[in-house]
Structure 1
Amino acid sequence: MNTPERPVASPCVNICALDEADICTGCQRTVEEITRWGRMSNDERRVVLGVCHERAKASGLVWMIPSKS
């Protein structure tokens, strides 16, 4: 029997402030991504998390990325 997959957790870090591009400075999601999160599938959420990570890297917010060992 397959156990249902748990929902992918929100990247919210309770630092809710939008920058000039309407991207949250805490989680790096757009307003649309934030409002749609509860209705997204896990696959959609994983895509958004990847985009958020890329936004964080581009803005210099990610300074250390763990190596894949």
Structure 2
Amino acid sequence: MKSPCINVCEIDRQSGLCTGCLRTLDEIAGWSALSDGRRAEIMRDLERRRQPGGAPGKRL
């Protein structure tokens, strides 16, 4: 599965999410070792995180 990384790597201190791909540090660090199912779950959750109010403290 393709990574959601867009090479904009900066962690927002308030939300704990990457401002580029909206993943957590744990999700980023473990991406290659995760099962296809878990990566698919995260990809679906990224859609929610992109929505206004979808991620705590997310800057739009």
Query: Normalised by the shorter chain, which TM-score bucket?
Result: 0.7 to 0.9
Counterpart among 49, 52, 55 of residue 55 in structure 1: 49
Q: TM-score, normalised by structure 2?
A: 0.79
Q: Which has the larger radius of gyration?
A: 1
Report whether the alignment pairs 1:15 with 2:8.
yes
Q: Which runs of 5+ in 1 are unaligned?
A: 1-7, 62-69
Q: TM-score, normalised by structure 1?
A: 0.70
The count of aligned residue pairs is 54
Counterpart among 31, 40, 44 of residue 37 in structure 1: 31
Q: Which runs of 5+ in 2 are unaligned?
A: none
Runs of 4+ with >6 A deviation: none
Q: CA RMSD in A?
A: 1.6
Task: Compare relative contact order (CA 8 Å, sep 6+) and give the higher one, 1 or 2.
Answer: 2
Q: CA deviation at 1:60?
A: 8.1
